[in-house]
Amino acid sequence: MHELSIVSGIVESILDFVAKHQIRKVLDVRLTVGELTHLEAEQLRFCYTAMIEQTAIQGSTLEVEAVRAEVNCPHCSYQGPPKYWEEALAMAPVPTLQCPQCGKATEAIQGHECAIKSIKYVT
């Protein structure tokens, strides 16, 4: 469960922001999470809720905005959604870095991000 270590860094960043700007209460934190990170939104929210207990951001909520994967193929110039592994033993098809047109390796141009997009707060 790598969500725990990701959320730990996010909470630390938020707490630093709160201390630096003397914020009274954080209401909502919005993350953008790319499809290629394989981070589960429910696990992120669960870890966040557990980690913020008895901190300056207790009671805030975590919203997760999914970012779809997009790839660029240097071989055939394809740009768009990646090929998905349909037979994966997962709840949903798994995105790959294989070109859906020519089958060669692609480069991810979107979908690998995990960042704080906004923090809603009261001063």
CA distance 5 to 86: 29
Nearest alpha-carbon partner for 72 in 115, 111, 33, 32? 111
What is the pLDDT, as a whole number, of residue 123?
86
Q: What's the mean pLDDT in 36-59?
A: 95
**Contact between residue 110 and residue 35 where contact means Cβ atoms under 8 Å apart:** no
pTM: 0.85
- Give, in words, the CATH class of 3-122: alpha beta
Length of the chain: 123
**Spatial CB neighbours of 94, under 8 Å, sequence gap ≥ 6:** 38, 84, 85, 88
What is the pLDDT, as a whole number, of residue 47?
96
Residues 51-85: tens digit of each pLDDT = 999 999 999 999 999 999 999 999 999 999 999 98
Residues 86-113: tens digit of each pLDDT = 776 666 778 999 999 999 999 999 999 9
User: 120 pLDDT band (50/70/90 cuts)?
Assistant: very high
What is the pLDDT, as a whole number, of residue 40?
92
What is the pLDDT, as a whole number, of residue 89?
61
Q: Greatest CA span in the chain, whole angstroms?
A: 54
